[in-house]
Amino acid sequence: MYCTGWIGRLVLGTVLFVPAFAWAAHPLITDDSGTQGKGKFQFELNAQYDRDEETVAGVPTKSTGEQVGATLSYGIIENADLVLSLAYVRGKVEEDGTTVYDEKGISDTTFEVKWRFFEKEGWSFALKPGFSFPTGDENKGLGTGRTGYHVFLIASKEAAAWAFHANLGYIRNENKVDEEKNIWHASLATTYEVVKDLKVVGNLGIERNPDKTSDNDPAFLIGGFIYSVSKNFDLDLGVKYGLTSSETDLSVLAGIAFRF
């Protein structure tokens, strides 16, 4: 099924934001400046369910999506990681009760480098440039169809049980569906260790809308927790709410992280 017009924008921009970058400690989207350490790996497996309802051209429209993403990070030196991410996604759009789009498959692949270039008195800063490769089928709405790139500036501050993170990013959204190519991103996150090994997390962010016809930028709020089963194994769960009409109404996020 060819994904064109407003359906393509709805699927790509609202339900399955592709490519799925390697974000921070899941379920957060805002990244932190932490790295794995030389010779160490981290493997993450994350799942997400999205649901959005709106009226398009007077027609009630319901969109749902699921994705399972895998990310492998490797510390090439103590303060720099290589990061590879790939996701399997599914999107469905119903128009007045009738299915007009239903596709699934591999989305675009991302490759990134995270470099922490400053660290002092609880403050740290990092740069995270990367590329997205068109491994998803753009004709099915599963990818952009072109190689893109992005860069994020990351700031982190740790203070006792608290940690605070801020991201500013630029995404060159090369695509074949006439989306906006220049996307900016700004977000803030915090974590608090309420008891040993259990952190509650919060995240707030906004991003330029890839839909050229809209002046409503997607903004989100995330709440959740991260539980460290052991030093090298984490479980997480979170809920993401859309704060603007262009953002997905509700997403449920869950994941695991294993370090070795």
- Asked if residues 216 and 14 have their Cβ atoms less than 8 Å apart, the reply is no
Contact indicator for 136, 105 with CB cutoff of 8 Å: yes
Among residues of the chain, what percentage have pLDDT more than 70? 91
pLDDT confidence of residue 71: 97
The count of domains in the chain is: 1
Which amino acid is located at 259 in the chain?
R
Q: Is the pLDDT of residue 149 over 50?
A: yes
CA distance 77 to 36: 9
Q: What digits encode the pLDDT tens for the residues 208-255?
A: 999 999 999 999 999 999 999 999 999 999 999 999 999 999 999 999
Report the CATH number that the domain containing residue 174 is assigned in CATH: 2.40.160.40
What is the pLDDT at residue 15? 47
Domain that holds residue 253: 5-259
Per residue in 150-185, pLDDT (tens digit) is: 999 999 999 999 999 999 999 999 999 889 999 999
Give per-residue pLDDT as tens, 90-125.
Answer: 999 999 989 999 999 999 999 999 999 999 999 999
Type of residue at 119: E
Burial class (CB in 10 A: 0-12, 13-18, 19+), 99: exposed
Instruction: Pick the closest to residue 189 from 162, 207, 152, 171 (CA basis).
Output: 162
What is the pLDDT of the chain when averaged over all its residues? 92
Say if CB 188 and CB 166 are below 8 A apart.
yes
Q: How many CB atoms lie within 10 A of CB 197?
A: 13
Question: What is the value of pTM for the model shown?
Answer: 0.91
Report pLDDT digits (tens) over 122-135: 999 999 999 999 99
Cα 9 to Cα 227: distance, rounded to the nearest angstrom: 36
